[in-house]
Amino acid sequence: MENFSAIEKILEQAGAQGRSSLSEPEVYQVMALAGLQAPKYLLYPAALLDAPSAALDAVSRLAGDKLVLKLVSSKTLHKTEAGGVKVLEKIAPVVEEALRAMAAKFPEAEALMAVEFLPHSAFALGEELLLGARADGAFGPVVTLGPGGTSAEGLTRALRPGTSPSVMPVHLAFESEAWQKFLDANWAWGYTAGRARGAKRLVQDAEMFRWLDGFSRVMKHFRDGGSSAWAIEEFEINPLAASGGKLTALDGVLRFRKAKAGGERSKPSAQGVNSLLHTKSAAVVGVSEKKMNMARIIANNIVKAGFPKEHTYIIKDGVAEIDGIKCFPSPAALPEKVDMYVVAVPSPEVPRVIAEAGDSGKVNGVVLISGGMGEKAGSEDMGRTVVEALASARKKNPDFALSGGNSMGIVLNGAKLNTFFIPQYKLEHPLGVNPFLAKTAFVSQSGAFVISTESKMPWLKPAYSITVGNQQDVTVPDYVERLAEEEDLKVLLVYMEGFKPGDGLALAKVIAKARAKGKQVVLYKAGRTAVGCKAVMGHTASIAGDYLVTRLIMEGAGALVAETFDDFNDLAALACSFAGYEIKHGNTFFMSNAGFEAAGMADGVAGLVTADMGKGVAEEMEGTLKEFKLDSLVDAKNPLDITPMASDGAIAGVVRTALASDEFSGALVSMIPLTAMMNTLPASAAPQEDFEKSFLKGAAEAARAARKPLLFCVAAGTLYEPYCAYAQKLGLPVFRSADRAVKMYAKYLEYARRG
């Protein structure tokens, strides 16, 4: 845009006056320079106000039967609420009186302005929009669009979360048909464009594209790390009125500041990250030969996992070996270059250890377990020293990369490598493969989140369990980018606390690429509130960002965003079980042996999830009910309450019929396990029972053969944990309440069907 220099001059003049925001007339000037439309206005400096002549001037020069009188004051941000906006009949005495009254009420006013009145309804949905843009450290400039006017905030709060507004990072907006998708998904624009029931089109999409493009270009130019000396923090038009087939700004806010130098962070090389994902040799620093400290637990876990001992080393001077692992006095003395160099030493020693690793030329990837590297108050200098050592190491070896600090470690199933510092008797390490689940990677800033999740879900055996800590070098997006390239990897589980500069945008891009390759991404983003952001900052020393912006952008990119920890676990179970399935529709078969559960499941049927059943399938199920002498107790229907009298054989027959039918895309079976008719306990606990003889194995096989989701629910106490674990080993996601199972399946189905 050739008018950037003129906009720069406006910002320069305002900045020289000590201001950080523009007046409304100045905002209109910026819009005009960006090719955007503002109403015609006349400006009357307050110090020189001649009310009679100003009134005559306004009446003669502005079109229409009405005009708007507005306050111009840097001290009054909310003009409407303060009484600084008046809609008047265009009659000279009326305008003169209003000018005098407003000048008297606001003695601090810099000017008064008379603005052309634009005919439109402030109360009809779609006629007033809010178009905004703001600078964001994680995503760069972002643009938002939602309902506008004085009730914009209240209306947005009243809508279902995520409905409005829509958010788009400027740096994604120039790709393909991004703006069209942005508008198509926007709730407020649906009314402006006439897509909502009873609405008529007020403005063509091309008109909004012009505004979105103009906003984006301005924000992209006036940003940190750009070519301008100024950065725009916020640029908002509210309302942006739809009238006469055009969009016109009726008010505007623009806040700015001096731009910060520098751009995106220096990223580690792909090879550096790959060395941490596909490790062939490893060394541990910090092992004690006298006690079982953290580093020694790690060294033992590496060997116990099955990683080759001949490619495992300990850095320890004056000791030949510890626990059968060879020791070397320094990294320079190692017999080979190591892919993973695990550092678990007291924090004051970290800068020296990292510098030695870099200088040696024998280290590619560092996993820094030690904390206190900048995330704790007073440790900033130590953090900077580590960053300096990292930069120095990269000069010698461009593939030198550091993961952490404050990392729990990394577990690589394919390499049989476990560097978690958790003793095996405390946690069944996530090694091995569940053959019935999709190949999965778990990437998390929080190590505790990973071990907590995997402790609760021992059936989950990720190919990669990666804890990133405070992201001093390698970040979550760096790992996800590399993992998204692996064709056989189907699910990415991601826990995110804070972003380094530009990393929100980077993560959105790699999620979009992963989704395009058919992968599923389940994301939990922490740091949603002011208190949550403070907690995140204390843990990771990262930029927390705004949760709503993050959620909307990540969902738009293709992530399945979990609202709670329990949601994350349940959605992860569904993704790991069903990724790769083509779920053709949402019609689902529901069955329980308890009436309350059947009713609860029926209550949960909504949206994409339906519970229809045709006559032919019902007749086939009736045959099964008759075979097991249940036809006198229950009729075939959906949801089906098969009663506590149903045996495993009866349940198996009904489930097979449902899964074989094209009418159903999947099934949810919820069985109260206390009935004596079913095998729900291990033979060791109840000799007359054996859950391995239950309907579960055959049902799981039938579901896999049909490539249809089968969810299982056990609404009972801890006595039945082995029954649940058995179902999970068969690849079935297990829930403990039927209504929650329906809710989570509905969310997953919407995501899976969205593609």
Query: Where residue 715 falls among pLDDT bands split at 50, 70, 90?
Result: very high
Report pLDDT for 504. 92
Residue 711's nearest CA partner among 609, 559, 591, 593 is 591
Query: Where residue 535 falls among pLDDT bands split at 50, 70, 90?
Result: very low
- Which region among 367-371, 396-400, 427-431, 602-606 has the lowest average model confidence (pLDDT)? 427-431
Q: Strand, helix or coil at 717?
A: coil
Mean residue pLDDT across the chain:
91
Residue with tokens 């006690």, as numbered in its chain? 291
CATH of domain 267-406: 3.40.50.720
| Exposed / middle / buried, residue 610 (Cβ in 10 Å: 0-12, 13-18, 19+) | middle
State both tokens at 51: 């009310």
Class of domain 128-258: alpha beta
Overall average pLDDT of the 617-622 stretch: 96
Give the separation between CA 238 and CA 150, rounded to whole angstroms: 8
CA atoms within 13 A on the CB side of 178: 20
| Residue 226 CB neighbours (<10 A) | 17
All CATH 3.30.1490.20 domain ranges in the chain, comma separated: 40-117
CATH of domain 40-117: 3.30.1490.20
pLDDT tens digits for 459-493?
A: 999 999 999 999 999 999 999 999 999 999 999 99
All CATH 3.30.470.20 domain ranges in the chain, comma separated: 128-258
Overall average pLDDT of the 414-426 stretch: 94
- Which region among 12-26, 107-121, 319-333, 737-751 has the lowest average model confidence (pLDDT)? 107-121
Overall average pLDDT of the 557-568 stretch: 96
Specify the CATH superfamily of domain 588-754. Succinyl-CoA synthetase domains (3.40.50.261)
Give the separation between CA 469 and CA 409, rounded to whole angstroms: 9
Enter the DSSP assignment of 543.
Answer: B
Residue 373's nearest CA partner among 344, 409, 399 is 344
pTM of the model: 0.90
Residue 300's nearest CA partner among 330, 277, 273, 321 is 321
The Cα diameter of the chain in Å comes to 102
Q: Which amino acid is at 6?
A: A
520-525 β-sheet, strand order:
417-418, 410-412, 464-467, 440-444, 491-496, 520-525, 559-561
State both tokens at 490: 């189907």
Beta bridge partners of 85: 70
Question: Nearest 5°: phi and psi at 406?
Answer: 60, 35
Query: Where residue 528 falls among pLDDT bands split at 50, 70, 90?
Result: low
All CATH 3.40.50.261 domain ranges in the chain, comma separated: 433-580, 588-754
All CATH 3.40.50.720 domain ranges in the chain, comma separated: 267-406
Query: Where residue 546 falls among pLDDT bands split at 50, 70, 90?
Result: confident
State both tokens at 92: 């000279």
pLDDT tens digits for 42-79?
A: 999 998 899 999 999 999 999 999 999 999 988 877 78
Percent of the chain at pLDDT > 90 equals 76
CA 128 to chain centre: 29
Overall average pLDDT of the 705-734 stretch: 96
Q: What fold characterizes domain 433-580? A: Rossmann fold (3.40.50)
Report pLDDT for 701. 97
pLDDT tens digits for 423-452?
A: 989 988 889 888 999 999 999 999 999 999
Give the separation between CA 43 and CA 40, rounded to whole angstroms: 10
Residue 276's nearest CA partner among 411, 416, 130, 151 is 411
In terms of DSSP bridges, do strands 230-243 and 246-249 run parallel, antiparallel, or are they unpaired?
antiparallel
> For residue 673, is pLDDT > 80?
yes
Higher-pLDDT residue of 528, 552: 552
- Which region among 457-471, 533-547, 564-578 has the lowest average model confidence (pLDDT)? 533-547
Overall average pLDDT of the 726-737 stretch: 96
State both tokens at 584: 């053709």
